[in-house]
Structure 1
């Protein structure tokens, strides 16, 4: 599953300390070298999954020299099992991929993470099931079936809300399968799961077995800027010029992808031949769909956070009891969601 919402096992205290020591130690060594470049010209960006079209603006900015124009040397860190909000909060990455919901959950739980760029202006996620299931014609039909989940209460809440809005009970059996959910779905071991319309759904169409689906927002779930780029308050406060340069270059990258999806797709594939070299049609179709429906929105600047979406989806999270504080206690009142994002670094 293409990760819109990064909810994985947090770094342990020892791991955070070790990562912090490595990062601080590396910076210290560079600072003491008269020949080393300014370490803040070197920026790291952490992927939340294998390279895909959610990340395309970053790869475009790198390939077309937008980062170099901004005076930055950007290292794209490969996907790791640690969630991007944890990496950014620990100082192990300066920026990374994480969507709105991931930020709302992680920052509420005490992580130092803030959204600086919104890749998608509307939600790409949906409930999916096999297209030949004649017994599933409406969300209420999901009651009593088997849901392939991904280990977060949020995913269960999304599936349940869709069924309940259609006068269902929202009661179903859940099994946690991580990315194995798609294989389990094709094999009939589960009845439905969640997917990303700009990736998994396109792949099933190419395979000749398209999913049937219910979009969350058609059944009572507030819209969300599901994919984004995050940093930390610490990095932004200490490195505002580098942050502005990075976000501005990324904004140029996604603007290019929105205007030139086929060329941008080629650049992404060229940068990742081992993982995407055989996926030309998937990458191209995905980029075209993102450019047409998701990267841009009327009246909204590319990358801009829309306060209403953070407030409304935040209310949904609170109502469904999936937001916890740093001690693990469930929040019953919404925090100040405006502190969870910033538009200050857009070009």
Structure 2
């Protein structure tokens, strides 16, 4: 199968490697490296997304044995700080047990008395880990601390009643756990991952804000959306004039992979599309011209979007792209939500950054200069 614009097995437009060749500065080796995915069958049985048997196999072979990112060190600042990490039906409690950077331990988040979760939410400066059901408690280091009415449990040996642990290691400010206590060290698991962090080391970053969302889907469905830019053309129309989505580079390195999408480069999907005149009233979050259709989407209130077509006809949709009135009966649901959904305060008048499809080098130069001024 070939691409319809370029008639080749890749999209039209400049590739990531072509873009690097135009850079005025020496590109670090780790950014110019290529390690393409091995060619082979790409059809995946649908059952891997809903089969209970496959899910159980993942829990046994993957989540019970692999290193996984559980939290950031900024979440465990003081002694007694703790976070809950859940994966499938497994739950772990990560606790800062001392002042040293490595004083972090992870326990099965389950009371050894009746199996109730010891904690359901993160917390600060706990002096012990107490079950809220019958009051059994453990010291921060996992040793048994107290059993109410201890005389009624003559068979309980405190030395044999410590909380079961998972392996804990730190990397780049992140805290990883592995339920398999015989697993290889995290450094061995990551391999040469360090080489990809030399430009912007993870240790130099900090956690400014944490936003989380529970999505009702198989974990692979959600994860896959953040591993490719194939969906940009249909899902993120506001990115198409500043992201080289279709010619992103994908590399595989042992236990990890990476995806690189060139910024400030027009999407190859726009190669055969009219370049619309800039909209003088354009605003990034409240009035935006669709890069493919040329229709202008404008916010007229919460959950209400007016779409003006090329003939000047105005149709109205809600924030989910549902038709309300007008000649147009279909609108881009993603752009409707972008324009007509919840808005951050004072973001209504943010201008649209200038874009030029034909001169990506000049555009990137302007962006670089703006970033330098900001820094």
Q: Structure 1-normalised TM-score?
A: 0.22
Rg larger in structure = 2
Instruction: Tell me which protein shows more helix as a share of its residues.
Output: 1
Instruction: Tell me which protein shows more strand as a share of its residues.
Output: 2
Q: Which has the higher contact order (CA 8 A, sep 6+)?
A: 1
